[in-house]
Amino acid sequence: MSILRGPRPMWKRKQEIATEIIPDCPTCGKRGQVVCIPKYGIVTMMCIDCLIEWSSLTHDCPVCGEPNNYAVPGTCVACYKKKKKKHGVA
């Protein structure tokens, strides 16, 4: 019996299994806050009222097509900065 051998179980973190964009608290419906640096287009959201966390996909940037790292539509930070520079918006 060698059941102790082999890969250790992978503890799947919530944000790795997000399958949809959920910007609002699943409990109270309030807009959630991003609580960690998004990666791979998945972000952890938190409701400060309910003190719960959930994972959400982020939207895609309409300019470059990459995940914008926000749970709301819009351009990514890189494109936002570029745009800002280009148009000279203060």
The residues that touch Zn ion, with contacts defined as CB under 5 A, are: 25, 27-28, 30, 47, 49-50, 61, 63-64, 76, 79
Closest separation in Å from C-beta 13 to Zn ion: 21
Nearest residue (CB) to Zn ion, 13 versus 27: 27
Closest separation in Å from C-beta 3 to Zn ion: 42
Nearest residue (CB) to Zn ion, 2 versus 15: 15
Distances (CA, A) of 15 to 29, 78, 83: 19, 23, 30
8 A C-beta contact, residue 69 and residue 32: no
46: tokens are: 């938190």
- Tally DSSP H helices, then E strands, for the chain: 1, 3
Nearest residue (CB) to Zn ion, 18 versus 59: 59
